[in-house]
Amino acid sequence: MPVRLATVTLLSLALISAPADALNVKKRNESWGKPGVTFAQYRADALECANVTYGAPITLHQLPPMPTGFLGIAVQNGEMLDLRPGHVMLYTTTLVEGVKHATWMDVSEQLQRVLDQCLIEKGYSRFRLTSDQMERLKQFRKTSPERQQYLYRLGSDATVVIPQKL
């Protein structure tokens, strides 16, 4: 229990102490736009940048040191399992899930940087959707053609992209 509590505390502190913008992953209320772009070009650019991102090299960073046990325990055959620090690692679900999440976020940030660079090179800029635009967007299923058309209309409209540009 103390290891689990310490793990939860450390992971919580790391998340709380990180600035909101520290994670460089596109927020839900952000999109990309290029005033005047045709729908065909918008889709072609999205596909090309997705393919560039798909093939991007990823670097998995080394995991942080794991907490270890402080005691030994007897097993059935009379031997002692050495659980002293540095000998056997104790993994908790919280720790394992925390490491998985940290790895996921690291990979997401790396892929987002590749995607962002590709879109920037094609002349797109990131813009923040208003609360009304977000409410309208929520009415569409994530992969629906209607949602794609709605985001395209916003992203190709200079009166939307320019004043809402990030």
Percent above pLDDT 70 for the chain: 64
Could you tell me the pTM of the whole model? 0.65
The amino acid sitting at 166 is: L
Render pLDDT for 77-103 as a digit per residue (tens, 0 to 9).
Answer: 555 555 555 655 555 566 667 778 888
Q: How far apart are CA 131 and CA 160, in angstroms?
A: 13
User: pLDDT tens-digit profile of 37-72?
Assistant: 999 999 999 999 999 999 899 888 776 665 544 444
Has residue 113 got a pLDDT over 80? Answer: yes
71-74 vs 80-83, strand pairing mode: antiparallel
Cβ atoms of 45 and 155 within 8 Å: the answer is: no
Q: Where are the alpha helices (DSSP H) in the chain?
A: 2-17, 39-54, 93-121, 131-137, 145-155, 158-164
State the burial class of residue 113 (Cβ atoms within 10 Å of its Cβ: 0-12, 13-18, 19+).
Answer: middle
Provide the b/e sequence for 127-145 (b: ≥16 CB within 10 Å). Answer: bebeeebeeebeeeeeeee
Q: Are 105 and 113 in contact (CB under 8 A)?
A: no
User: CA 91 to CA 77: how far, in whole Å?
Assistant: 24
CA 71 to the chain's CA centroid: 38
